Structure 1
Amino acid sequence: MSEQRRPAVFRLDDPHVAISDVDAPLRSRGRSDIVIQPEPEAALPAEILAPPARKRFRWGTVFWSALGGLVSMGASLSVWKLVEDLFARNEWLGWLGFVLAVVAAFALLVIVVRESIGLMRLAAVETLRERAVAILASDDRDAGRSLIGDLIAFARKVPRLARGRVALESHGQDIIDGADLVRLAERELLPDLDAEARQLVADASKRVSVVTAVSPRAAVDMLFVLYTAVRLIRRLAELYGGRPGWLGMIRLVRETITHLAVTGGMAAGDSIVQQMLGHGVAAKLSAKLGEGVLNGLLTARLGLAAIDVVRPLPFTALPRPTMTDVASGFVRRREAKDEDV
């Protein structure tokens, strides 16, 4: 049985301390000598040492860009040829066509600028939310103060946030951690907007529920649900300061659907759906009325997902709205109507 050495303190430059190689056998020169043998370093797995994947060249982007350029050139040449033909036929017709072409080009330029501004505004909201998530994880005070400054500048564009902006500015020099600054900004700026957003989602859900319950055609139901969903997403984005254009709306709808797919929002696992199925409401209601209720629930889920997408800060200090908050009211009213019948 080997002798166990008691804990001791020594210096590496002590003549009685020897450092042995990793592969050499551990040998002591005497009872008073101390022999140190370094442990071998563990080899990294091959997967970690693998080089990153190379970025592929996007030929699809090149194709659509080139095709769009050709279409634009063809349309411009066609308009120019039309103006020349009008001048050849009659001078005043040519000037009229030229003026109309200039007006159309100016209107197109304005539309492009507005769409670009809308996309930039949506990108700014998304950047604020990503920075807030990072600050909540790192608790960086300097990054939190920088985010507060950007939020104050962003809140100046929304008149209804004036009171919260002033209250947030009063805490600008306080010694507060980064994560607490994010929670403070959420409590000062977003409670009223969240309440109005929940009301917008609830109203849209009730509207879809009523219209699809009395509509005689399935095509009308689909068109109305689509129109209500797009309108709801736009109003939520405008509420939180987004104000998107048509391209921005396409992006928002895509991100909202992606958020639903990632978070499993379409699954019927929420308490309000369980309450409906547990109480047998679907069996009591007529088929058309039950379809209206389910369409309303799906609209509510879409609205809640849109709130997460368009909100400039994640839900941390304030409670996240749930299906029970926005849908329980009209479900109870549907049950009361069915009992009266």
Structure 2
Amino acid sequence: MTERVPPRRPATFKLTDPSVVLIDSDDTGPSARPTAPDPAPSAPPPRARVQLAQEKETPIVAPKAPRSIINPKKGFSWGTLFWTAATGLLSLAFWLWVSKLVEDLFAQSTTLGTVGAILATLAGGSLAIIIGREAFGLMRLSRIEQLHSRAARVIETDNRAEAQAIVRELLKFESPNPQLAHGRATLTKHLDDIIDGADLIRLAERELMTTLDIEARALISKAAQRVSVVTAISPKALIDVLFVAIAATRLIGQLARLYGGRPGALGMMKLMRQTVSHLAITGGIALGDSVMQSVLGHGLASRLSSKLGEGVVNGMLTARLGLAAIDLTRPLPFNALPRPVLGDLVKDLLKKREKEE
């Protein structure tokens, strides 16, 4: 029979102990055994040899930055060239018409010509200001899109230099908002202290977006309640459609201005088109099962009349439009803060309807 070896009791060792040998994890042959000299005959026998395997370090490979598909570079477009040329021709034609009109007025009377020239100057100056405001609004909306996409890439790649550049640009972008004074001061104080780029973006989101997200939710909830009440008591379906469209346009404009955008007429058209496209892509036009469960869970399905039910549904759709507009007008993606959920807004809407009953 094989003699049973008693288990070895736990013991401590020092790295300088000759009985402790460091070997590679893959080296298990006889060459891994120590070559320490044998102890002197008069010395006490050494303790059992202990072999410590060194784990091989796995090199850390930085993730590659994903290619941006949000704002792909566009090449030459014949449509853009056509509309640019057509707009230039129409502008020249309008200018020639105005100049000919002023000349005819001067031919009739010096007073009429002077009045016509003053009116033309005022109209041209006002048009230039309007065009400048529209261009400024479109530039700010484009800047929000760029900040959003760049921040999303930094969260994936953890690029510290890019994160600092984004935060500095965001601080300058949100500087006119007095509500974010404390958040801007805190973020500026810790801008150089955070090593990870993703953590810096998350800190910026918590400090700058928390107050704005709360106010955005309040705006969406009020707009949904207003639409629900008006469409429930309106006698015509055409009035419902017009009011929902006006309320949705106003809500999108309020959300854009809240997060720092200043859209004009062209900017609002762009935001409306992007919001509808976003809803079509995400499938948000149809009511989900969770929303219907929220309605049924409140026990209102059997008590609501058909007209009142239409008001609740219109309010839900308005809230969904508001949530889609937040994704388009918010300069930072949702990462550190929770995304507003339609179910919470629906609960607020249903509580409002219960109080009115």
TM-score by length of 2: 0.76
CA contact (8 A) 2:194 2:200 kept: no
Work out the CA distance in 2 between the residues paired with 1:65 and 1:314.
34
**2:344 paired with 1:325:** yes
Offset, 1:304: 0.5
**Per-residue deviation, 1:66:** 2.4
Give 1:68 deviation, angstroms: 1.9
**What SS does structure 2 have at the residue aligned with 1:77?**
helix
5+ long unaligned stretches in structure 2: 1-26, 28-73
2:165 to 116, 132, 146: 146
The 5-angstrom pairing of residues 182-193 of structure 1 reads 182-193=201-212
**Alignment partner for residue 151 of structure 2, among 111, 125, 132?**
132
Unaligned 5+ runs, structure 1: 1-6, 8-54
Aligned position for 2:242: 223
Q: What's the counterpart of residue 24 of structure 1?
A: none
Q: Distance in 2 between matches of 1:232 and 1:301?
A: 11
Q: Distance in 2 between matches of 1:70 and 1:155?
A: 39
More helix by share: 1
Aligned ranges for residues 7-18 of structure 1 at < 5 Å?
none
The letter for the 1-side match of 2:228 is S
What is the Cα deviation at residue 226 of structure 1? Answer: 0.8
- Asked if the contact 1:199–1:326 (Cα under 8 Å) also holds between the matched residues in 2, the reply is no
1:264 and 2:268 correspond: no
Displacement, 1:63? 2.6
Deviations 1:275-304 (A, max 9, x none): 224666344321211111110000000000
Paired AA for residue 127 in structure 2: L
Secondary structure of the residue that 2:284 maps to in structure 1? coil
1:72 counterpart (91, 96, 120): 91
Q: Structure 1 segments of 4 or more deviating over 4 A?
A: 277-280, 335-338
Deviation at residue 56 of structure 1 after TM alignment: 7.7
1:166-181 counterparts in 2 under 5 A?
166-181=185-200
1:337 to partner: Cα distance: 4.8
Aligned mates of 1:119, 1:91 — CA distance in 2: 42
Rate the CA distance shift 1:178–1:114 in 2: closer, same or farther, 3 A.
Answer: same
- SS at structure 1 position matched to 2:338: coil
* 1:159 has 2:178 as partner: yes
Q: What is the Cα deviation at residue 216 of structure 1?
A: 1.0
Identity across the alignment (%) = 55
How many aligned residue pairs are there? 287
Which residue among 121, 128, 136 is the counterpart of 1:102? 121
Amino acid at match of 1:97: G
Which residue number corresponds to residue 316 of structure 2?
297
Q: How far is the alpha carbon of 1:155 from its aligned partner?
A: 2.3
Note closer, same or farther for the CA distance 1:85–1:282 as it changes in structure 2 (3 Å cut): farther
Across the aligned residues of Structure 1 and Structure 2, the Cα RMSD in angstroms comes to 2.1
Whether the 8 Å CA contact 1:155–1:162 is kept in 2: the answer is: no
Query: 1:147 offset after TM fit, Å?
Result: 1.5
Give the CA deviation at 1:137.
0.6
State which structure, 1 or 2, has the greater radius of gyration over its C-alpha atoms: 2
Residue type matched to 1:96 in 2? V
- 2:260 equivalent among 215, 229, 241: 241
CA distance in 1, matches of 2:107, 2:302: 74
Partners of 2:168 and 2:75 lie apart in 1 by: 39
| 1:131/1:57 CA distance change after superposition, 3 Å | closer
1:286 aligns with 2:305: yes
In the alignment, the residues of structure 1 paired with residue 109 and residue 293 of structure 2 have an alpha-carbon distance, to the nearest angstrom, of: 73
Q: Is the 8 A contact 2:229 2:311 kept in 1?
A: yes
8 Å contact kept, 2:191–2:200: no
Matched residues in 2 for 1:172 and 1:279: separation?
A: 47
Residue matched to 2:23: none
Cα gap change, 1:282 to 1:90, in 2 (>3 Å): farther
Indicate conservation of the 8 Å contact 2:220/2:251, yes or no. yes
The question of whether the paired residues in 1 share the 8 Å contact of 2:228 and 2:314 is answered with yes
Instruction: Give the Å deviation of 1:67.
Output: 2.2
Q: What corresponds to 2:110 in structure 1?
A: 91
| 1:236–1:306 Cα contact (<8 Å) kept | yes
Question: Mean alpha-carbon deviation: is it higher for 321-330 or for 129-138?
Answer: 321-330
Alignment pair present for 1:207 and 2:230: no
